[in-house]
């Protein structure tokens, strides 16, 4: 914002100097000297992206298949940012909610919205027994799941529901809750195996 105000002020000074030239004055600059201009800084942009398979695109960032950009995910959008700070947003499915879970034993980090290219969990490439049921007692997940290289495993769950999750590994177990409403985060780093 300060840069914009400074640019506007410099532009006004330039216009006033140009007006002085029209009246026969040189505005303090001889004709032999070239005019120096400030390089234009380009503001980062945000555009709406399109994809035929949002889940495959999310998976490509989550599994480190795409490394030249940064990607994070909220309850409603995948946000991909290039090295120049330009962002492309992709809408997530209306009926499904993405959540990434990093069970841990000793180390974790606070997290709300998952960075597909930045978050790192403790338990890398490890297998867990994962059980999830909704408030009605319907089983949503009951399977062995292996964490990715980032120590997380990703799930797509039905939106606007509350769930109980149980994770077990080698006699250690944790139980917790997950909700999938628009205001909820996509990064779960609070499930400690004991």
> What are 147-183's pLDDT values in tens digits?
999 999 999 999 999 999 999 999 999 999 999 999 9
pLDDT of 99 strictly over 80: yes
Q: What is the DSSP letter of 29?
A: -
Contact 37, 30 (CB under 8 A): no
Left, alpha or beta for 137 (phi > 0: left; psi -120 to 50: alpha)?
A: left
Q: Please report which confidence band the pLDDT of residue 92 belongs to, taking 50, 70 and 90 as the band edges.
A: very high
Q: pLDDT tens digits, residue range 38-48?
A: 556 678 888 99
Burial 66-82 (b: 16+ CB within 10 A, else e): beeebbbbbbebbbbbe
Mean pLDDT for 90-114 is 97
Q: In what order do the strands lie in the sheet with 127-134?
A: 139-146, 127-134, 162-169, 172-179
Predicted confidence at residue 68, as pLDDT, reads 74
How far apart CA 128 and CA 171 sit, in angstroms, is 11
* 187 vs 183: CA distance, rounded Å: 12
């Amino acid at each position: 914002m300060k840069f914009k105000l400074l640019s506007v002020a410099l532009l006004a000074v330039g216009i006033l100097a140009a007006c002085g030239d029209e009246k026969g004055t040189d505005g303090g600059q001889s004709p032999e000297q070239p005019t120096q201009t400030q390089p234009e800084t380009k503001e980062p942009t945000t555009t709406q992206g399109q994809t035929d398979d949002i889940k495959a695109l999310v998976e490509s960032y989550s599994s480190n298949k795409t490394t030249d950009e940064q990607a994070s995910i909220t309850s409603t959008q995948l946000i991909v940012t290039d090295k120049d700070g330009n962002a492309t947003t992709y809408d997530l499915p209306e009926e499904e909610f993405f959540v990434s879970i990093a069970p841990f034993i000793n180390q974790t980090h606070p997290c709300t919205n998952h960075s597909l290219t930045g978050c790192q969990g403790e338990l890398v490439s490890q297998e867990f027994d994962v059980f999830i049921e909704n408030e009605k007692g319907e089983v949503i997940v009951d399977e062995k799941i292996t964490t990715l290289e980032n120590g997380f495993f990703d799930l797509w769950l039905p939106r606007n529901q509350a769930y109980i999750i149980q994770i077990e590994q080698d006699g250690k177990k944790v139980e917790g809750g997950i909700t999938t409403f628009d205001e909820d985060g996509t990064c779960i780093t609070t499930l400690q195996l004991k």
